[in-house]
A and B are shown apart, each in its own frame.
Chain A
Amino acid sequence: MSGREALVLPLVDDPVTAPFWTGARERRVALQRCLRCAYVRWPPARVCPECLAEETRWETVQGRGTIWSFAVYVRALHPAFADDVPYTVAAVELDAGPLMIGRLDEAPSWEPAIGDRVEPAFEDVTPDVTLVRFRVIA
């Protein structure tokens, strides 16, 4: 990557989303389930978009899922990713419900395909920020 100031980083200390980022730092995928209607709020939200309740519980899930689609960035369209190209971004349908975006880790002799099963992987981008990626389930 091309220097810390050039990175595109999430805000990890927003109280609504912080438990997700804390989980990622601890190598966990944490999702927020509504205590009233059981809807998984993704992205995390203070108020449930289904039932408007606030009460919530963070659950650690396995984080496995199925590739819904993926895009291969051959050109860096933002300078923050100039050193990363080519890179692959996938949309993964988690078994737990939400469609989550994440990088696909490369693996020997694996050409990704829609429908492939993947599991989470974790990348410490800075001491504070860990991103959830995905890799094919061997």
Chain B
Amino acid sequence: MTEVATPVGGRAAIVGVGETRQGEHPGLTGDDLAVDAAKAALADAGIDKDEVDGLVTCLTLDGQGTDLAIGRLLGLNPAYSATLTYGTCNFSIHLAAMAIMSGMARTVLLTYGANQRTGRVDVTRGPARADFTEPHGLVHIAGPAALAFRRHQHLYGTTEEQLGSIAVAQRAFARMNPLAIFRGPLALEDYLAAPYLVAPLRRPDVTMISDGGVAIVMTAGDRAHDHPNAPARLLGMAQTASLRESQNPDNYLRPWLRPVADRVFAAAGVERVDVDVAFFQDPTSVWVLQMLEHYGFCGPGEAGPFVAEGRTGPGGQLPVNTNGGQLSESYMWGWLHVCEAVRQLRGDCGPRQVPGARVALHASTGAFFKGAATILGRDD
């Protein structure tokens, strides 16, 4: 694989974030929620919609969120617009950064909105035909995640208690986040007492389904300080497209994420020890386990003990998903992770604030075929 660096080098920055309340929004479409979030993000950035000349939207599982629909609702005729089907926010941010760095746009609005809970969207089956998996009952992301975790257990001796530490740590953060949907206490005993969903995974290992909207405003680096809040500058970004998917060896373990990690750190010019707070998009807790290893915060097979020692929880050496993640805060496909990363860098996170956070990593995957990572940093 070619080692391509993408030295965005701070030439794009996030200057506004906004979201709706998370949970249930009967009567509102995903597009409505994207619009409400967009208004909040524009207000946070201190700009009027007429200053937006780029729009990057994210398609929901049920086909909402086209740039055409969102642009029309928001009354935008931007110079540039696009829709991604696998947003997970990182891919959307990278596209917006590329539009900004190429000069096609200066200030880009990014949106995602979904009413998958009240809309009863079927999240158990993928968008493409899956004749050799789904008819056997391998449905819902929890199934492949269970396959991946049991394999991890087999290879490295990882225990269910260790896996449970991830959901427990994220819940401890969520309890300090008013936006989070699940804020009740979750101790390891509670986790172990929960019934299996798809063994060896339990309910707390798997994301909830929720309605909500999230939006982000990005602008060119030389304008980053023309806004009321401290900018979160893009120090580095990297992706991989493992499009051969199941043809790749051990694909459920996502070994192809490792080069993304190497590239994003090289592009940003920071080391792993410089990361103050990390965000791993988490449809299941297994993603966090995998990414801790692939992004090199511990060695292969060491993520179990790493999380069990509390290193990713409040006060740990590498706080992970301080918003509670998709396991406890809300299922917004990684978008709320970015809002939280920006607020951590601003120092706005109240009791769950990581003291002096200057560098944040956000890593995500598109199912079992794409990976992306962004490193954000403060200016001062």
Chain A contacts with B in 77-105, Cβ cutoff 8 A: 77-78, 80-81, 84, 87, 89, 91, 99-103
User: Which residues in chain B, 116-133, are within 8 Å of chain A measured between CB atoms?
Assistant: 122, 124-125, 129, 131-133
* Closest residue of A by beta carbon distance from B253: A69
Residue numbers in A under 8 Å from B196 (CB-CB): 72, 74-75
In the complex, what's the smallest C-beta–C-beta distance from A84 to chain B, in angstroms? 6
Contact of B148 among A8, A11, A69, A115 (CB under 8 A): A69
Complex Cα distance A100/B135, Å? 13
Least CB separation from B143: chain A residue? A71
Inside 8 A of A43's CB, which chain B residues have their CB? 131-132, 246
Return B180 CB to nearest CB of chain A, in Å. 24
In the complex, the answer to whether A77 meets B135 with C-beta atoms within 8 Å is no
Taking a contact as CB atoms under 8 Å apart, the answer to whether A77 and B140 are in contact is yes
Contact with A along B78-102 (1 / 0, CB 8 A): 0000000000000000000000000
Considering the complex, give the chain A residue whose CB is closest to the CB of B144.
A71
Given A17, A74, A99, A114, which contacts B198 in the complex, CB threshold below 8 Å? Answer: A74
Contact with B along A49-89 (1 / 0, CB 8 A): 10000000000000000001111111101101100100101
| A74 lies within 8 A of B151 (CB) | no
Q: A80: which B residues are within 8 A, CB to CB?
A: 137
CB distance from B65 to the nearest CB of A (A): 24
Question: How near does chain A come to B213, taking the closest CB pair, in angstroms?
Answer: 26
Q: Which residues in A have their C-beta under 8 angstroms from that of B154?
A: 69, 114-115
Q: Complex Cα distance A100/B246, Å?
A: 10
- B114 in the interface (beta carbon within 8 A): no
In contact, B124 and A102 (Cβ under 8 angstroms): no
Looking at A14, A17, A73, A100, which has the most chain B CB atoms within 10 Å of its CB?
A: A73
Question: Does B252 lie within 8 Å of A78, measured CB to CB?
Answer: no
Residues from chain B with Cβ under 8 Å of A129 in the complex: 135
> Once bound together, how far apart are the Cα atoms of A120 and B190, in whole Å?
39
In the complex, residue of chain A having the shortest beta-carbon distance to the beta carbon of B249: A99
Partner of A71, one of B135, B150, B244, B247: B150
Contact of A74 among B124, B134, B197 (CB under 8 A): B197
Q: Closest chain B residue to A76 by CB distance? A: B137
Contact B131 A10 (CB under 8 A): yes
The yes or no answer to A122 lying at the interface (CB within 8 A) is: no
Q: Which chain A residues lie closer than 8 Å to B131 at the CB level?
A: 10-11, 14, 17, 43
With known contacts A72-B199, A74-B196, A114–B150 Cβ distance under 8 A:
yes
B330, chain A: closest CB distance, angstroms? 20
- A71-B150, A71-B198, A72-B196 known; A78-B140 Cβ under 8 A: yes
Which residue of the partner chain, among B125, B132, B146, B200, contacts A101 with CB atoms under 8 Å? Answer: B132
Interface status of B139 (Cβ within 8 A of chain A): yes
Which one of B135, B147, B197 contacts A91 once the chains associate, using CB atoms below 8 Å?
A: B147
Interface string of B143-174 (1 = CB under 8 A from A): 11011101100100000000000000000000
State whether B198 touches A49 (Cβ < 8 A): no
A49:B139 contact, CB within 8 angstroms: no
Q: 4 smallest A-B Cβ distances: which pairs?
A: A10-B131, A71-B146, A77-B140, A72-B199
Interface on B for A, CB 8 Å cutoff? 122, 124-125, 129, 131-140, 142-144, 146-148, 150-151, 154, 195-200, 244, 246-247, 251-252
Q: A78-B139, A100-B132 are in contact. List 20 more A-B contacts (CB 8 A).
A: A7-B135, A8-B135, A8-B139, A9-B135, A71-B143, A71-B144, A71-B147, A71-B198, A72-B200, A73-B143, A73-B198, A74-B196, A74-B198, A77-B143, A78-B122, A78-B125, A87-B137, A89-B138, A114-B154, A129-B135
Some 23 contacts from A to B, beta carbons below 8 A apart, are A10-B131, A10-B135, A17-B131, A68-B147, A68-B151, A69-B151, A69-B154, A70-B147, A71-B150, A77-B142, A77-B197, A77-B198, A78-B122, A78-B137, A78-B140, A80-B137, A81-B139, A99-B251, A102-B136, A103-B136, A114-B150, A129-B135, A131-B136
